[in-house]
């Protein structure tokens, strides 16, 4: 597709996109205009960052964040902020530690800019203390590595203004730069446990490590999503599934890194606004049968059952479960 594509070509492209979204919920995106060298440069810098000593990487966490993580592990409490460096094994999916480390950046939107009152609206959704935690989660600043020195400039050029901003309005996007050492033999848990993504869609840059990312097919079996040079992998999130009454699939996926030395991936999670009220679109045809995905959070279950939710509630519930051993 280009600006000179014919109406027929556009229709064809729209049809195949619709097909991908309603069958697997995953597709490759090529010809996107992001220079391959910039993607590769960020993978290189991420590998250099993750190779730094633990003590240097830990410097990227605020004390508050470390305290919070310790507290959540001990008490399964809620995240006060989800930004900054996350150590190997600290992320949890389905009660298992994920064998990955990461740095998370969220959209720099202040809680004053969103309608927090909506979170307390009738029927009562959240208590004042919960809303206060939500506010802290939103307002915490991003933290950037000092080493490698070019990291911040390179990452900002990659994921902010130049490439995606015009698509996002007040999107509460998140970028997660992830490092995966190979899984040890007999390890319990995966590199990233089975999950669906949270929001609209995810634009993922894999490095060249083979056979790591897997997507679940409708029969329950798992298919590899091989890296393709210069292409992004796009997969849909829970909110797109709610909007379309399940016609578009937020597909379960997972990572098992067994073939490479150290894999990096860079995920851009394009999400609705923090205070966006999400409800099935009137134009979406009725599904006529139970929704295929399980609602992994109470707000999501409400949306999938045809009700409404606020994106921030769902995000917060899912992020909380990423520190939860179900204790």
Ligand X SMILES: O=C(O)CCC(=O)C(=O)O
**CA dihedral (57, 82, 306, 17) positive or negative:** negative
204 binds ligand X (CB under 6 A): yes
Residues 265, 273, 297, 320: which binds ligand X (CB under 6 A)? Answer: 265
Q: Which does 318 bind (CB under 5 to 8 A by kind): ligand X, Fe ion, none?
A: none
Alpha carbon distance 26, 303 (integer Å): 22
Which residue from 188, 166, 195 is spatially nearest to 176, judged by alpha carbons?
Answer: 195
**C-beta neighbour count of 265 within 10 angstroms:** 26
CB nearer ligand X, residue 119 or residue 201: 201
Q: Which residue minimizes CB distance to Fe ion?
A: 197
Q: Which does 215 bind (CB under 5 to 8 A by kind): Fe ion, ligand X, none?
A: none
End-to-end CA distance of the chain: 50
| Binding-residue pattern over the window 160 to 199 for ligand X, x denoting contact by CB under 6 A | ----------------x-x-------------x----x--
Residues facing residue 264 across a β-bridge: 179
Which are the contacts of 209, defined by CB distance < 8 A and separation ≥ 6? 180, 227, 257, 259, 260, 263
As measured in angstroms, the least distance from the Cβ of 257 to ligand X is: 8
Q: Which of residues 7-66 bind Fe ion (CB under 5 A)?
A: none
299 cis-preceded (ω within 30 degrees of 0): no
Residue range at the interface with Fe ion (CB under 5 A); choices 44-52, 70-78, 94-102, 197-205:
197-205
197 binds Fe ion (CB under 5 A): yes
Q: Which does 176 bind (CB under 5 to 8 A by kind): ligand X, Fe ion, none?
A: ligand X
Alpha carbon distance 178, 266 (integer Å): 6
Residues at the contact surface with ligand X, assessed by CB under 6 A: 176, 178, 192, 197, 204, 206, 213, 253, 255, 265, 267
């Amino acid at each position: 597709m280009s600006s000179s594509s014919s109406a027929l070509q556009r229709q064809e492209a729209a049809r195949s996109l619709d097909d991908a979204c309603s069958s697997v919920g995953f597709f490759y995106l090529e010809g996107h205009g992001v220079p391959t060298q910039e993607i590769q440069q960020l993978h290189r810098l991420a590998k250099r960052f993750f190779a730094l000593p633990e003590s240097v990487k830990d410097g990227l966490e605020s004390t508050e964040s470390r305290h919070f993580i310790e507290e959540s592990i001990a008490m399964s409490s809620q995240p006060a902020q989800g930004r900054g460096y996350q150590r190997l094994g600290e992320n949890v999916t389905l009660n298992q530690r994920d064998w990955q480390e990461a740095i998370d950046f969220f959209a720099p939107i202040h809680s004053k800019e969103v309608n927090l009152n909506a979170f307390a609206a009738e029927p009562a959704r959240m208590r004042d203390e919960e809303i206060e935690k939500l506010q802290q989660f939103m307002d915490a600043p991003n933290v950037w590595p000092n080493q490698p020195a070019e990291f911040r400039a390179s990452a900002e050029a990659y994921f902010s203004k130049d490439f995606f901003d015009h698509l996002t309005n007040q999107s509460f996007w998140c970028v997660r730069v992830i490092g995966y050492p190979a899984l040890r033999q007999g390890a319990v848990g995966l590199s990233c446990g089975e999950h669906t993504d949270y929001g609209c869609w995810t634009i993922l840059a894999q490095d060249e490590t083979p056979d790591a990312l897997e997507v679940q097919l409708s029969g329950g079996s798992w298919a590899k999503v091989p890296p393709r040079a210069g292409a992004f992998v796009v997969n849909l999130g829970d909110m797109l599934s709610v909007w379309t009454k399940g016609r578009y699939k937020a597909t379960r996926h997972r990572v098992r890194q067994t073939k490479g030395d150290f894999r990096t991936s860079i995920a851009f999670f394009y999400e609705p606004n923090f205070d966006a009220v999400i409800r099935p679109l009137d134009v979406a045809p009725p599904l006529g049968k139970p929704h295929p995905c399980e609602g992994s959070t109470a707000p999501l279950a409400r949306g999938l059952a045809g009700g409404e939710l606020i994106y921030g509630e769902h995000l917060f519930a899912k992020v909380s479960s990423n520190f939860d051993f179900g204790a």
